[in-house]
Amino acid sequence: MDKSENREVSNLIDRPNKEPNQRPFHCIVSSSSRPGSLKATERRPSSYAPNENLQNEVVKLQSQVEIEKKAKKEAEEKYKQIVSKLDVVQNRLIDRNKEVEEEREAKEEVMKSNKTLQLTINKMEQYLRKKSTGSRFESTNVVDVVDVDMGGKADIENIIKTENELEEKSRQLQREKQTNEILDKRCKLLEKLLKENNIHIESSELDNLNKQFSNTELDF
């Protein structure tokens, strides 16, 4: 290469860019495959070359942000599910508390009813014992032992009243039975006497005689 060619290449490398807003360029002189030849190649400055490491970091950060967004969304969904399950559990607890309260009240009612029933049974046993010994049962004693609110008093008094009425009716029927037996015996005796004496009496007259002797005590 002669001196004139070297001077031209040097001027090409060192001269400023005269066009406005146009970036300067560098020229790299490289040897050609052919001896004695030069080749100028245009290249951007290193400050304008893309930074691959920075781009990789940006991609990583964007990927991390997407992962965090997805994880946050999943966490929010899980939180909503947990809150929903907690609401269901809380409602079940409220319902269970109501059931427990109702069961407690029902148990108290049953215990109260059992107590009244036991008092009723005890009173009836007392009544039956007195009845078996011939003592008349005083229904006024029921007031002292039977809970009025449970209706036990009325039930016992009705039972005792019915029992006393049945006893009275039984005694009345017994008296009527005894009276009928006496009248029947009188009629048979009267028929026997009339037959022995050959006396015939009309049925109407026989009824009158029975009425006359109805209050008469006879020994048979």
Q: What is the pLDDT of residues 85-144, one digit of tens each?
A: 888 888 888 888 888 888 888 888 888 877 877 787 777 777 777 777 765 545 444 444
pLDDT at 25 over 50: no
What is the average pLDDT value for the chain, to the nearest integer? Answer: 70
Q: What torsion do the CA atoms of 151, 152, 158, 164 make, to the nearest 10 degrees?
A: -170
Q: CA nearest 143: which of 133, 153, 135, 130? A: 153
Q: CA nearest 190: which of 168, 173, 165, 207? A: 207
Asked if residue 125 belongs to a domain, the reply is: no
pLDDT at 198 over 70: yes
Q: What is the DSSP letter of 141?
A: G
| Two tokens, residue 46 | 């290193």
Q: What is the pLDDT of residues 46-96, one digit of tens each?
A: 554 567 888 888 888 999 999 999 999 999 998 988 888 888 888 888 888
The residue-averaged pLDDT of 197-216 equals 65
Beta carbons of 153 and 146 less than 8 angstroms apart: yes
Reported pTM:
0.31
35 lies in which domain range? 3-48
Cα 138 to chain center, whole Å? Answer: 48
Final residue before a domain boundary, out of 48, 64, 85: 48
Q: Count how many domains the chain has.
A: 2
Asked if residue 106 belongs to a domain, the reply is: no
Asked if residue 60 belongs to a domain, the reply is: no
Query: Higher model confidence: residue 204 or residue 165?
Result: 165
Asked if residue 38 belongs to a domain, the reply is: yes
The region, left, alpha or beta by phi > 0 then psi within -120 to 50, assigned to residue 36 is left
CA distance 152 to 117: 8
Asked if residue 8 belongs to a domain, the reply is: yes
Q: CA nearest 24: which of 9, 37, 35, 13? A: 13
Lowest-confidence pick of 25-29, 115-119, 123-127, 211-215: 25-29
Asked if residue 194 belongs to a domain, the reply is: yes
Asked if residue 53 belongs to a domain, the reply is: no
Asked if residue 30 belongs to a domain, the reply is: yes
Give alpha helix (H) positions in the chain: 3-14, 52-132, 142-145, 152-196, 203-212
